[in-house]
Structure 1
Amino acid sequence: MAGPIRHPIPLDSLTAYLRKNVPEINLPLTIQQFGYGQSNPTYLLTSSGTGAKYVLRKKPPGKLLSKTAHQVEREYKVLKALSEAAQDLPIPKVYCLCEDADVVGSAFYIMEFLDGRIFEDPALPGVTVEERTAMWKSAVATLASLHKIRPEEYAALKSFGKPSGFYGRQIQTLSAIEAAQAVTKDVATGIEVGKIPRFNEAMKFFSATQPRDRSTVIHGDYKIDNLVFHKTEPRVIGILDWELSTIGHPLSDVSNLLSPYQLALEAGASVMSGETKDFIPGATPGLPSRQQAIEWYGQASGWNILPSEMYWGDAFGFCRNSVITQGITARVARRQASSAKAGTYAERTPKLVALAWKYASNYYHIYDL
């Protein structure tokens, strides 16, 4: 999945930094860039001498739209803290964090390369029926293990977020990000990205109907294509992309992981990830039902999620993802997009908002509002 470099890195400068600060990394290195990664450019570093592999994650080049996005520093610190607090949690080892933009043009960190399988399609194509079931169960159980970590018990984790009020803060943050992205102009045409339809109205709904507060360590973007599975065994060996991790409500991670089930039932099934034509709940062999996955999570975490909570979480998740796709469109406009597929996301934003309102309507129906 690594290939041509779209955002160049000064290899001589990087090598000099590593030689001085990270002697355990084998030099010299060759560099390739991964095709995935919508937010932060991600590179495969390979030792020319030993063949050892590492992964470098950096902020995009140029002035950034949001102070809350592209937080590779936070990602490094979360991984470092979790490696000490939860040694059984499958996360990559981190080697260094460099906040000096003069080295490669922006802040970066380097982590262990996990030699396993990454699936863009949550249907997990190419595996057996039994493996598909086991891999989804492993994904759910791994999430539950993360949510069982008590941040108040570890000094290194306490600083990653406040112990309550997660969704209220999310509403404020998303509102600010959406407004900034909306006025972003294309560097060539001068055309603004534009506001998300009915976004402000949606934020008012979420403010008035928040679920019962809960708090734990959350990943922030937990989904199948942010997991690394063992090369031959049906189990998770790594969780990637931690820049949105914080102390927050576990419902946000659960809704994000299970969103393909709702997307598969809608006309625009591929509004967030790659093609998911094989992800057919009730028909794809070995794919657990959404309710089965929720029950697995409840058994592993000790929290049984109510249907009303799931509807609310789904609606909020779709609206949040509309801000993410709007942000990708804004980075395309500023020529800062990392992924090779970034230009396909503009049309997905209104579809996600439409789904948010559909699931918000389900919530209203439950409470006869």
Structure 2
Amino acid sequence: MAYVLRKKPPGRLLSRAVHQIEREYQVLSALQNTDVPVPKTYCLCEDDDILGTPFYVMQFLDGRIFTDSTMPGVSPAERTALWRDAVHVLGKIHTIQAQSVGLQKFGKQGGYYDRQLATFTTLSRVQAKVEDPLTRAPVGELPHLPEMVEFFSRQDLRPRDRHAIVHGDYKIDNLIFHPTEPRVIGVLDWEMATIGHPLSYICNLTHPYFWSGLDQDVAGFRSGKIMGLLSRAQCVQWYAEAAGWDPEPDLWWGDAFFAFRTTVILQSVAARHVQRQTSSPDSAKFASKVKPSAEDAWELVRKAKARTKRGRLSVRL
């Protein structure tokens, strides 16, 4: 049997919200006996003297990981089935009651977007001041940050508050699919999991349909030229069937917040890159995407503003 060891990176972290290995172990362990497919967990070590930072050991899952959300190399029918199961698993996660799996203290009930906005605004401002130790050049503030924060702070424009167990970064490349069958056998990368608003994660999963900030090939999602990639509306319908609520009226707001949040995460990659804290060969590329991503996020905020003025977002109850 093969195993996987997951550990925190060395060095001082800019935010406690990332690389939460202990939290990841907790939620994976809690979901072991549910309908959500996750790898088996074995042990958690919080003693820094062993490997330098906390770590845990989990089961290795032998399956397929698609780094390209268009899933090249599969038939149209299988592509549809793979996406459908990915969406259904997300809906299953959002139906689990936290208290039923021992996660009643995993996060606050409600107020998710207030906390997210405060966290990512503060994080962005801290990251903006990070300097390259050689050139002393700062990462720099995100374009339109004050205007975006002002919009997301408007309580009267927000979607109705909801709460559920949320993954933190649910997307196709964080899923392991069965080697030959069109089904998810493992959901990975739970380090940012919490109790939050489920809207964020249907937007996260379906972001290739509306946002190109990560330099992905999104043309197939928008034009329908890739057989088996159905419309976003179909994905939302699958989700509504599995989760028991329809997020469609709130997607414009959720999409804009997704883009803002993801841009701040890209900025964190840039901050770690200038501090030489990342080993990823793609870190420089992602760092270069920060400002274009912020412009894309601002455009989605502008569209959401226009929608709210026309009363197209759902009214908070």
Q: Do both proteins adopt the same fold according to a TM-score greater than 0.5, normalized to the shorter chain? A: yes
Alignment of 1:84-123 (within 5 A): 84=33, 86=34, 88-123=35-70
Q: Which moved more, 1:134-143 or 1:190-199?
A: 190-199
Alignment of 1:121-160 (within 5 A): 121-154=68-101, 156-160=102-106
| CA RMSD of superposed structures (Å) | 1.6
1:55/1:276 Cα in 2 relative to 1: closer, same or farther (>3 Å)? Answer: farther
Share of identical aligned residues, percent?
A: 47
Find the aligned partners of 2:253 and 2:104 in 1 and give their Cα distance: 27
Give CA-to-partner distance per residue, 1:293-345, whole Å, 9 cap, x none: 011111111111233x1000000000000011000011111111142211111
Give CA-to-partner distance per residue, 1:186-235, whole Å, 9 cap, x none: 12222111111111221111010321100110101000000001101111
Q: Which moved more, 1:75-84 or 1:169-178?
A: 75-84
- The question of whether the paired residues in 2 share the 8 Å contact of 1:118 and 1:229 is answered with yes
| 1:279 to partner: Cα distance | 4.7
- The question of whether the paired residues in 2 share the 8 Å contact of 1:121 and 1:276 is answered with no
Find the aligned partners of 1:198 and 1:239 in 2 and give their Cα distance: 34
The match for 2:238 is 296
Find the aligned partners of 2:304 and 2:3 in 1 and give their Cα distance: 45
Find the aligned partners of 2:52 and 2:215 in 1 and give their Cα distance: 29
Find the aligned partners of 1:215 and 1:77 in 2 and give their Cα distance: 19
- The question of whether the paired residues in 1 share the 8 Å contact of 2:221 and 2:231 is answered with no
Structure 2 residue corresponding to 1:318, chosen from 259, 279, 288: 259
SS in 2 for 1:315: helix
Find the aligned partners of 1:117 and 1:213 in 2 and give their Cα distance: 35
Alignment of 1:103-252 (within 5 A): 103-154=50-101, 156-208=102-154, 209-252=157-200
1:134/1:281 Cα in 2 relative to 1: closer, same or farther (>3 Å)? Answer: farther
The match for 2:17 is 68
The match for 1:306 is 248
One-letter amino acid of the structure 2 residue matched with residue 163 of structure 1: Q
Find the aligned partners of 1:351 and 1:160 in 2 and give their Cα distance: 35
Find the aligned partners of 2:140 and 2:308 in 1 and give their Cα distance: 34
Find the aligned partners of 1:94 and 1:114 in 2 and give their Cα distance: 12
One-letter amino acid of the structure 2 residue matched with residue 107 of structure 1: P
Find the aligned partners of 1:218 and 1:187 in 2 and give their Cα distance: 36
- The question of whether the paired residues in 2 share the 8 Å contact of 1:120 and 1:274 is answered with no
One-letter amino acid of the structure 2 residue matched with residue 135 of structure 1: L
What TM-score do the two structures reach when normalised by structure 1? 0.80
One-letter amino acid of the structure 2 residue matched with residue 170 of structure 1: Q
One-letter amino acid of the structure 2 residue matched with residue 187 of structure 1: P
Find the aligned partners of 2:223 and 2:280 in 1 and give their Cα distance: 28
Please tell me whether residue 347 in structure 1 is matched to residue 276 in structure 2.
no
SS in 2 for 1:111: strand
**Unmatched 5+ residue regions in structure 2?**
311-317
One-letter amino acid of the structure 2 residue matched with residue 168 of structure 1: D
Find the aligned partners of 1:272 and 1:112 in 2 and give their Cα distance: 30
Find the aligned partners of 2:264 and 2:100 in 1 and give their Cα distance: 33
Give CA-to-partner distance per residue, 1:78-104, whole Å, 9 cap, x none: 1111224x2x21001111111111111
- The question of whether the paired residues in 1 share the 8 Å contact of 2:263 and 2:297 is answered with no
Q: Which moved more, 1:102-111 or 1:161-170?
A: 102-111
| 1:276 to partner: Cα distance | 5.4
- The question of whether the paired residues in 2 share the 8 Å contact of 1:326 and 1:349 is answered with yes
What TM-score do the two structures reach when normalised by structure 2? 0.93
The match for 1:283 is 225
Greater relative contact order structure (CA < 8 Å, 6+ sep): 2
SS in 1 for 2:58: strand
- The question of whether the paired residues in 2 share the 8 Å contact of 1:281 and 1:287 is answered with no
Find the aligned partners of 2:125 and 2:31 in 1 and give their Cα distance: 33
1:289/1:239 Cα in 2 relative to 1: closer, same or farther (>3 Å)? Answer: same
| 1:286 to partner: Cα distance | 0.4
Find the aligned partners of 1:74 and 1:365 in 2 and give their Cα distance: 38
1:58/1:281 Cα in 2 relative to 1: closer, same or farther (>3 Å)? Answer: farther
One-letter amino acid of the structure 2 residue matched with residue 360 of structure 1: V
| 1:236 to partner: Cα distance | 0.6
Q: Which moved more, 1:202-211 or 1:159-168?
A: 202-211
| 1:350 to partner: Cα distance | 2.0
| 1:251 to partner: Cα distance | 0.3
- The question of whether the paired residues in 2 share the 8 Å contact of 1:261 and 1:281 is answered with no
